[in-house]
Structure formats: C-alpha cells, structure tokens
Amino acid sequence: MIEQVTPGQLPAWFEAASADGAPLLLDVREPAEWQAASVRPAGAELLQMSMQTLPARLAELDPDRPVAVLCHHGGRSMQVAMFLAQHGFERVANVAGGIDAWALPVDPSVPRY
C-alpha cells in the first residue's frame, strides 16, 4: 500500500523518513509544468524527472532512499509511486492532491494552473 501524504503533512513525513536516509521529493510533471509552478521543499531534495523519462532513468534513483512523488493533482504521482514500489523502493509516498493542493494551504505563492 502506497502512503498518501498531503502537502501539509510532508514536513513531518520528511522528518520521519530521514531516519532511512535523506528524503527526496520527486516531481514527475512535465518541463512546462515545472516552469508554470515549482516548490522548494523544506527537509528534502527536489528532483524533477518527468513521468515519461522515469523508466529509462530509474538507475539514477536510490531504492533505499525515501521518496515522496509529486505531480499536478496526484494521479501521475500515484502511478509512479506504485512503479517505484514494484521496483524495490521501500519507502514511497504519493503527495495527495499534488502541487495544486500545495498551493492552497501550504504556499499560496505557488501559482495554480
């Protein structure tokens, strides 16, 4: 079962996950979406890797590292989280609601699109 973490819960998830290594926020949106809106997570490294490139770039990711996956609303990130779990990633979470939910309660300066 993939953990569902809201943007407001991410700081606590990053803190708890840091016991397993430095957490990663994996943004799987497309480059145009990154330009439209991006986030700066406190407590985690941000890596932008579009969903379509992930299978070819999977070796760039450490399966022992905790990963929270982000997209626009949470659908693509859930697919990627399941993909990562199927490939041996042990600590994976889906950012429920995606960057759109991030913009509302967490950081209103993040543009909604």
- What pLDDT is attached to residue 91? 96
Residue 112 lies in a domain: no
- What pLDDT is attached to residue 104? 82
Residue 82 lies in a domain: yes
Distance CA 56, CA 104 (A): 33
Burial (CB < 10 A; 0-12, 13-18, 19+), residue 99, is: buried
Looking at the 3D structure of the chain, how many domains does it have?
1
Expressed as residue numbers, the domain containing 49 is 3-106
- What pLDDT is attached to residue 49? 98
Distance CA 67, CA 22 (A): 9
- What pLDDT is attached to residue 74? 96
pTM for this model (two decimals): 0.95
- What pLDDT is attached to residue 20? 81
pLDDT average per 10 residues of sequence, the chain (113 residues): 95 92 96 95 95 97 97 97 97 97 88 92
Q: Which CATH number does the domain housing residue 38 bear?
A: 3.40.250.10
**Catalytic machinery residues:** 71
